[in-house]
């Protein structure tokens, strides 16, 4: 199964529903991948408004 990105929270998922926000709108048209290990200490996580560890797409279309 291919990876898709949630259009709402940018989480990378392999299912048809986002595991974090439960949104069914996932896109296979995304670019960039960032893995957040420490959301409190990460400048990228703060800029993207990410509060949980995980894999995220930088841009989702």
Q: Indicate if the pLDDT at residue 17 is higher than 80.
A: yes
Domains, the chain, in order of start with CATH, read: 4-60 (2.20.28.90)
| pLDDT confidence bin for 38, thresholds 50/70/90 | very high
Distances (CA, A) of 27 to 17, 31, 32, 40: 11, 11, 13, 27
3-state secondary structure labels for all residues of the chain? CCCEEECCCCEEECCCCCCCCCCCCEECCEEEEEEECCCCCCHHHHHHCCCCCEEEEEEEC
Q: What is the mean pLDDT of the chain?
A: 95
């Amino acid at each position: 199964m291919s990876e898709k990105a949630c259009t709402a929270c940018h989480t990378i998922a392999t299912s048809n529903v986002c595991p974090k926000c439960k949104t069914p709108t996932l896109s296979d048209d995304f670019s960039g991948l960032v893995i957040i290990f420490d959301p409190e200490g990460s400048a990228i996580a703060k800029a993207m408004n990410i509060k949980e560890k995980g894999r995220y797409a930088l841009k989702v279309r």
